[in-house]
Amino acid sequence: MAETPPPAQPLTIAVSSAPKSLDPALATDAAGARILQLTNPALLHYDASFTPTGLVAQGCTQKALTVTCTLRPGYRFHNGTPLTATALKDWFTFLQATPRSPLSALLEPVAAIAAPAADTLIFTLKQPTFGFLGRLVDIPLAAPPADKSLGAPRPGLGTYRLAEQDAQGTVTVAPAPDSNLPALTFTPLADPTTRLLKLKQGEVDVVYQDIPPELFTWAQKQGWKTASAPSASYTYLALNFTNPHLADARIRKGLSVAINRAAIRRHLLGGMAEPADSLLPPGHPALWPAPEDDYNPTRAEDLLNAAATLGDAQNSRFSLTLATSTDALSQRVAQVLQQDLRRVGVDVILKPLEWGAFYDNVKAGRFDMALMSWSGELPPDFLVQVFHSNKAPPAGLNRGKVDIPVLDKALDKLATATTVEAQTAAATQAQQLAAGLLPYIPLYRRHHVLVARPDVDGCAIPTSGGYQGLLGCRK
């Protein structure tokens, strides 16, 4: 008889920030979304070719206005309730009726939801919406709420369940008893040096993400296990179009060519970053790799002059605020951006805030510019959510109120595409327009990084930067 392997030892993971929310109806921050992938998985996920394929569902099919999902047998929510199509119908209906939930915008095309059998869930769409299956990848599942309140975690269907969350944001997730997976505790520590010192002292087992290059090199010299990998993350300057300067395409282009991205990647990121060529992940069939704007301060000044923003005696044209978190590397990047833009006459006032307050301000549109990142494997119609003028919150994720009519027309084509070919063509056009008109100013794709104690083996880093790679860690 084969021996039963010993239970996996619990692991403590040091991360840079606590989840803003673990309510699957609300969470949009990376820390919260990554935990929810473990506790509240979606109906579908992307396979290696970025095709939505079965996860909690065996699969979903879309024919004209009808999307049919067949559920896998044997699932139970963490509160013991069996998974049924009726339960999911109630969950999706709750999301539809909750404007505060960013997920309600993903369900906007849905006219009706039915559960004709215990394992069959049917969405009827108002109009043809090619790519709707991709939206189901992004909606975590939860047991139907007993009330309509928001903010609390909800029972999911994942291999992991939420075991504990304290006031400081430390989160412990526990695996199913028969899974032989390690319990994971995510401890938020904003300072990367503190994270590595805790690892040295044996208080944490793994430090994941947001490690400056010089500390990563130091960790390698300590003999610790390190890993890095290219990522799908996209770091950018979000721009608020309610500021008349930023609503001017000439000024946006002037700001873009005034930034020395190559120097940021080389000196601040230690070469562990790539150009941010698209919001879509590397390898996606609809990705159009935008050429990076060359660093050209002279051209930047010409563009700013053309926009009638002439400098005064001190070559000061106008000022903008730049919102950031208090993360040390973000602060250093912000200071370099401040210096680059000051050289062409734009005064940048830095506004660092603790992560929670910073993220609240960004979601509410209280910024001129904000240093932000999108992470994960984003589908083509995500471009609609972040750039279309009618997708300002709560209808979408256009937090800077981007309003570019010619881009809207391309995004309308993307939203109404009915074939892969039409979607790819529309996505390509939208990416090309975004590269020229700059609703965002792209900066870089920062590599994912991990440092582990010598007695920890098996850790991996997925392109998405999610926590799934940590499930193989053992000590």
Residue 3: predicted pLDDT: 59
Architecture of domain 11-17+158-230+448-472: 3-Layer(aba) Sandwich (3.40)
Residue 394: predicted pLDDT: 85
For residue 98, the tally of other CB atoms under 10 A from its CB is 18
The neighbouring-strand residues paired with 369 are: 239, 322
- The dihedral over CA atoms of 238, 242, 243, 248, expressed in degrees to the nearest 10, equals 80
For residue range 299-315, list pLDDT tens digits in order: 999 999 999 887 776 78
Q: What is the mean pLDDT of the chain?
A: 93
For residue range 428-468, list pLDDT tens digits in order: 999 999 999 999 999 999 999 999 999 999 999 988 889 99
Homologous superfamily of the 234-446 domain (CATH): Dipeptide-binding Protein; Domain 3 (3.10.105.10)
Residue 123: predicted pLDDT: 98
Rounded to 10 deg, the angle between the 249-257 and 297-306 helix axes is 160
CA–chain centroid gap for 160, Å, is: 21
Is residue 381 over pLDDT 50? yes
- The dihedral over CA atoms of 330, 458, 49, 38, expressed in degrees to the nearest 10, equals -70
The neighbouring-strand residues paired with 165 are: 171
* Residues 191, 325: Cα–Cα separation, whole Å: 12
Is residue 5 over pLDDT 70? no
To the nearest whole percent, how much of the chain has pLDDT over 90?
84
Lowest-pLDDT range, 280-289, 305-314, 387-396, 412-421?
305-314
- Residue 363, φ and ψ in degrees, nearest 5: -60, -30
Is residue 133 over pLDDT 70? yes
Sign of CA pseudo-dihedral 340, 29, 234, 413: negative
Sign of CA pseudo-dihedral 324, 206, 262, 379: negative
Select 41-137's CATH number: 3.50.50.60, 3.90.76.10, 1.10.3720.10, 3.40.50.880. 3.90.76.10
For residue 313, the tally of other CB atoms under 10 A from its CB is 5
- The dihedral over CA atoms of 200, 201, 207, 211, expressed in degrees to the nearest 10, equals -50
Per-domain residue ranges for the chain? 11-17+158-230+448-472, 41-137, 234-446
Is residue 2 over pLDDT 60? no
pLDDT band at 1 (very low <50, low <70, confident <90, very high): very low
Lowest-pLDDT range, 42-46, 256-260, 353-357, 410-414?
353-357
376 within 8 A of 232, measured Cβ to Cβ? yes
Q: What's the rounded mean pLDDT across residues 123-129?
A: 90
Q: What's the rounded mean pLDDT across residues 340-360?
A: 94
Q: What's the rounded mean pLDDT across residues 120-139?
A: 92
